[in-house]
Amino acid sequence: MKPSAIYTLLFTCLVPAVGLAADAKRMPANACLLEYDSQNQNYDRGGARIGTHDTTQVFTCPLIRSNVLNLNGLAALRMNVYKFVSTDFVCYAHSFDTFGSLIKAVVRDTTTTGLTAVDWGTSLNQSGPWGTYGVTCYVVGAGGSNPWGDELESLDYTEY
């Protein structure tokens, strides 16, 4: 086999696996996992969203990674939320290396009520080969007689 044929074969077989172009994804929030429940209270998974009732709970959302060799993080990252409660809503975006060591963490917050977005833009700009990305949010419960706390709606992100 000629060397040029080998390079063509390698390029057509391997390059699509690691991805060259930006790869936009939307993940439903009900794919996020309950990490910490402060008082063993209930939470709600309805449709594509996830929310709390009485207390603040911590949810972690893993991000599916297509370009596993990328070192410059994400081109865009946004968590869409519905805030019933006017207290501070805090989320951390983070990247880890292949062994789980933290590479970078970026915090964002909002107090805006209603449908809003927690937007990181391009700030999660470091990653490791074969590493992982995730978002951890402190979802505020309403408490008292109000049955509705904050909700995670969806997560949008773009890999380089």
Q: What share of the chain is helix, strand, coil (3-state, %, to 5)?
A: 10, 50, 40
Helices (H), the chain: 3-18
Using left for φ > 0, alpha for ψ between -120 and 50, and beta otherwise, residue 4 falls in alpha
Cα separation, 110 vs 83, in Å, equals 9
Cα separation, 102 vs 120, in Å, equals 17
Which pLDDT does position 139 carry in this prediction? 83
pTM of model > 0.75: yes
Which pLDDT does position 18 carry in this prediction? 47
Do residues 119 and 78 make contact, with C-beta atoms less than 8 angstroms apart?
A: yes
Cα separation, 129 vs 13, in Å, equals 19
Pick from 20-34, 48-62, 130-144: least confident: 48-62
Torsion over CA: 91, 95, 98, 103 (sign)? negative
Task: List, for residues 145-156, the tens digit of each pLDDT value.
Answer: 555 678 888 999
Do residues 39 and 87 make contact, with C-beta atoms less than 8 angstroms apart?
A: no
Task: List, for residues 31-90, the tens digit of each pLDDT value.
Answer: 888 876 555 555 555 555 666 666 778 889 999 998 999 999 999 999 999 888 777 889
CATH of 19-159, one of 3.40.50.620, 2.40.30.10, 2.60.40.1180, 2.60.120.260: 2.60.120.260
Task: List, for residues 122-131, the tens digit of each pLDDT value.
Answer: 999 999 999 9
Length of the chain, in residues = 160
Residues 62-79, buried b or exposed e (16+ Cβ, 10 A)? ebebebbebeebbbbbbb
**Domain ranges (residues) in the chain:** 19-159
Residue among 106, 100, 104 nearest 121 (CA): 106
